């Protein structure tokens, strides 16, 4: 074998046995420091600026943070922010990483730094969790519209006085939305009394047999709809049992 061929073979053998170069670590790419008061961590400004308009403004040329290379973080602890920061790395984002145990911390960070895709994923997760007065306050403070509407709707049909008292102390203006929703629900329920009276009148004056079939079919559709509506409301409403009994009687008469 010639010297040239031998050199080429040795080079190929070396390439096969040489491990691929490792990608850069978070520490290696860190070009600034996040200061948490008693702790700190390195971070890559490119990832932060690409995800957050707040970080982007901080790190623009001429800003104090850009000059010093240090950003104070007061909205979260180091461990919480590290979890959030790891979601910004290429290929690391997944909605499945937003879970019940970390959603509150992630939402607080994403809301403060205006990271929309993380905030949206947090709302999706919150929509699967039980409604409380505290969840309503959280939705209001962070601008989560879907969660806010859900909480208002749920609390308006709930008999949990503790939640309403807490809301009244923390954000009394929110009680108006709850009260308006309650009024709408109760108004529809009490309106059922008139519907039932009209139903009974129709039954009393509509002939039985094939002659009254079309009238029965029309009425039963309306009665079933209102019954399903009433069943969905709180049992604490004193008129509900009586109305449902009447509606049952109406349905039986129409069968």
The model's pLDDT over 126-149, given as tens digits with 9 standing for 90+, comes to 999 999 999 999 999 999 999 999
Predicted local confidence at residue 23, as pLDDT: 77
Predicted local confidence at residue 213, as pLDDT: 47
Instruction: Name the 3-class secondary structure at 73.
Output: coil
Quote the tokens at residue 228.
Answer: 């399903």
Residue-wise burial string across 140-167, b where 16 or more C-beta atoms lie within 10 A, e elsewhere:
bebebeebbebbbebbbebeeeebbebb
pLDDT band at 225 (very low <50, low <70, confident <90, very high): low
- Out of 36-50, 80-94, 153-167, 180-194, least confident range: 180-194
Domain boundaries, the chain: 182-254
Residue 43 has phi, psi (to 5 degrees) of -150, 155
- Out of 13-17, 101-105, 133-137, 213-217, least confident range: 213-217
Whole-prediction pTM: 0.65
Nearest Cα neighbor of 48 from 121, 113, 145 is 113
């Amino acid at each position: 074998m010639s010297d040239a061929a031998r050199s080429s073979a040795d080079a190929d053998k070396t390439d096969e046995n040489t491990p691929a170069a490792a990608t850069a670590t978070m520490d290696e790419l860190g070009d600034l420091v996040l200061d948490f008061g008693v702790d700190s961590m390195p971070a890559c400004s490119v990832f932060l600026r690409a995800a957050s308009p707040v970080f982007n403004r901080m790190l623009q040329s001429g800003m104090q943070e850009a000059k010093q290379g240090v950003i104070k973080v007061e909205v979260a602890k180091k461990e919480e922010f590290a979890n959030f920061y790891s979601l910004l790395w290429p290929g690391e984002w997944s909605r499945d990483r937003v879970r019940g145990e970390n959603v509150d911390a992630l939402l607080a960070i994403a809301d403060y730094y205006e990271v929309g895709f993380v905030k949206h994923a947090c709302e999706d997760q919150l929509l699967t969790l039980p409604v409380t007065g505290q969840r309503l306050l959280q939705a209001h403070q962070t601008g989560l519209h879907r969660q806010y509407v859900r909480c208002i709707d749920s609390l308006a049909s709930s008999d949990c006085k503790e939640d309403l008292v807490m809301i009244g102390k923390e954000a009394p203006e929110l009680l108006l939305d709850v009260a308006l929703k309650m009024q709408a629900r109760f108004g529809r329920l009490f309106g059922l009394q008139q519907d039932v009276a009209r139903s009974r009148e129709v039954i009393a004056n509509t002939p039985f047999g094939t002659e009254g079939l079309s009238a029965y079919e029309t009425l039963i559709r309306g009665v079933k709809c209102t019954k399903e509506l009433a069943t969905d409301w709180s049992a604490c409403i004193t008129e509900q049992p009586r109305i449902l009994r009447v509606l049952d009687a109406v349905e039986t008469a129409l069968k």
